Amino acid sequence: MRSCFIPLCDNVNKAEKKRKFFVASSKRLGRWQEILKKHHTKVFKETDKLCELHFNEEDIDTKFSTVIKGQIVEIDRLRPKLKDNANPCKNLFYEKEDNVLEEKSQETKTPEKPKLKKIKVKKTKKDNSETETASEVADTSKDVSTDFLNLYEEIYEVLLPSTLWAVFRCPNKEFISFAYMNPSDFKVNKQIVLRRTGNYKVTLYEEMVREIQLTSDKITSEFLSKDIEEIDSI
């Protein structure tokens, strides 16, 4: 099964057993599509991956900095990540005898659009419409889903205030949760749950105190680290 989006890359680089793979965040997707369409007829999708061999080394972060006992320490990342302005620029096309750029016909078929239900919403002074389509809601989830998956893979970069906090990841990649255990009664009395759709819930002492929809720019280790620190102080 092909892992890298670039045709023939997996075959040409069989010896590279530990290649790192990257998906495009919502901010990068459009840029990458513009670059790759110059070389390939198949459209690069948010679920496609590119391996590290198509990026400059300086565009890949292999370490992250953290503070330990008042000193800044660099630690190897379990999963290297791309810098925000990273673009594929190397080995975007491999030549081979009888080279075929076109993917199999079944792979290039345009997927059928899912049927959309209309969701009724209350009228407001600012919005006179009675309905909104589920496609609008789906677009929001689609935008943040890639960012959620990136965060899921880099979740251990979220800085926790103490060892009383723990992180949990759904095996199906549907949610991430952070929980605090009270050392006096061993009960979890602070919890954060972030779903793949961007839904974000904060529960304190078994009572939900906040539920919001996070945008793409908030689904980051920096935002969660800061929010958890604030919640820890409550």
Q: Where exactly are the structural domains of the chain?
A: 9-94, 134-232
Residue 170 CB coordination number (10 Å):
13
Q: Is the pLDDT of residue 163 over 80?
A: yes
- Separation of alpha carbons 220 and 152, rounded Å: 10
Q: Which amino acid is at 141?
A: S
Its pTM stands at: 0.45
Q: Report the pLDDT averaged over residues 92-97.
A: 69
Angle between helices 134-153 and 26-36 (to 10 degrees): 90
Question: Positive or negative CA dihedral for 146, 147, 149, 153?
Answer: positive
**Residue 121: per-residue pLDDT:** 44
Q: Does domain 134-232 have CATH number 1.10.1060?
A: no
pLDDT band at 98 (very low <50, low <70, confident <90, very high): very low
Tokens 């935002």 belong to residue: 223
Which pLDDT belongs to residue 2?
54
> Which pLDDT does position 96 carry in this prediction?
59
